[in-house]
Amino acid sequence: MPIQISRQGELYSARVTPPHADVEWVSPHSMSAQQLYNALMELGCHPVDIMDALSECDPEWERRAPNFRT
């Protein structure tokens, strides 16, 4: 299963399983794009996969996260 991200207003939640992450994980609560990116990186997700999943979920996510950093 690829990284699955859903949007709730200005926040996001995700679900990911191996091989896209080191372990199966579901976000414990809604997070900002930056918080979610950081959490997924800690799980071993590839940055391009995370960015692609964010863009698929919300094509305007970068506009909503002007201070986002990789």
Q: How confident is the model at residue 21 (pLDDT cuts 50, 70, 90)?
A: confident
Bridge partners (DSSP) of residue 14 are 5
- Quickly tell me which residue has 């949007």 as its tokens: 7
Whether the pLDDT of residue 54 is over 90: the answer is: yes
pLDDT at site 48:
94
From start to end of the chain, where are the E strands? 4-8, 11-16, 25-26
Whether 20 and 3 have beta carbons less than 8 Å apart is answered as yes
Q: What is the pLDDT of residues 23-47, one digit of tens each?
A: 899 999 999 999 999 999 999 999 9
Residue 19 — very low, low, confident or very high, per pLDDT cuts 50/70/90?
Answer: confident
Query: What does pTM read for this prediction?
Result: 0.92
Please provide residue 7's backbone torsions phi and psi, each rounded to the nearest 5 degrees.
Answer: -105, 140
In contact, 4 and 54? CB cutoff 8 Å: no
